Amino acid sequence: MTAPSRAPVPLVILGTGYVGRFIHQAAQHHGRVAFATSRAPDAHLSFVQPDRRVLYDLLRPETWRHVPARADVIWCFPALPEDGATRFAQRIIDRGSRLVVLGSTAAFPPGLSDVIDERTPIDHSIPRVAAEERLRTTFGAIILRLAGIYGPDRHVFDWIRRGKITNSQKFVNLVHAEDAAELCLLALQRASPGSAYIVSDGQPRRWTEICRFAEERFQIPLPPPMTTDDVGKRLSSRKILSDFKYRLRHPDLFTALSNLES
């Protein structure tokens, strides 16, 4: 069950890296006042107007006062160490604020043969997962467990060219950065506090399939076949797309990759 839509308040993007850039762009498009944080804002946030660049480092509490209060927060980096993350959240999260924390699908144990959805148990022994769960249960954080992110300047074909992936039967789950950003903003508007969602395009692919497509369509050298006992994971995106009534901008990986390559 989703929360009712609400009037937007200022947005703070904590740790504005690759995904954060797209969140900022989407927020601007939707007319939201968005502040972006970095440990070196002038060096890394040139795309943000100067008065909305924020110096922030979780490991330096003296910088916490720079983060605007009474704002929604999208937390884009691992919430570690857990105690520091909790103390910061206690300071910054107001009663009327929403907190979205970007997690990882590594929360789900490997080796699962069934399709994974939000009912699948997570591994609480992972420090990052434990910290996210503390933010969820204590502050009502909305956890978005992101699949692999791709998009402009982060092209799957470049991973193949640089030998970062193997030509194996392992499943991989991906989502375009533009879709991830839009779903982050929708989570602030529509998700219930304390809920958790998987963010993926919902179409698990095998690396062999992706490598073969890259070779056949774009003559990218095919890496040597490899065998692995790691079958990967198959993630379902049904819940988030249904609850948020969202239609993916990039539902087909191969079409999106072809557009990025051209």
Q: Quick one: which of 221, 196, 226 has its CA closest to 108?
A: 196
Q: Where are the domains of the chain?
A: 11-261
Name the CATH superfamily for 11-261.
NAD(P)-binding Rossmann-like Domain (3.40.50.720)
Environment class of 119 (CB within 10 Å of its CB; exposed 0-12, middle 13-18, buried 19+): exposed
Lookup: tokens for 245: 């009534």
Q: Quick one: which of 258, 256, 250, 165 has its CA closest to 214?
A: 258
Cross-strand bridge partners of residue 119: none
Confidence category of residue 237, pLDDT binned at 50, 70, 90 = very high
Q: Are 58 and 86 in contact (CB under 8 A)?
A: no
Assess whether pLDDT exceeds 60 at residue 105: yes
What whole-number percentage of the chain has pLDDT above 90? 88
List, for residues 178-230, the tens digit of each pLDDT value: 999 999 999 999 999 999 999 999 999 999 999 999 999 999 999 999 988 88
CA 26 to each of CA 175, 182, 256: distance values in angstroms, whole numbers, following the listed order: 16, 7, 18
- Is the link from the previous residue into 81 a cis peptide, with omega within 30 of 0? yes
Eight-class DSSP state of 111: T
List, for residues 11-31, the tens digit of each pLDDT value: 999 999 999 999 999 999 999
> pTM score > 0.75 for this model?
yes
List, for residues 112-156, the tens digit of each pLDDT value: 889 999 999 999 999 999 999 999 999 999 999 999 999 999 999
Which residue in this structure is represented by tokens 């065998």? 227
Q: Quick one: which of 145, 141, 136, 137 has its CA closest to 117?
A: 145
Task: Work out the average pLDDT over 232-246.
Answer: 97
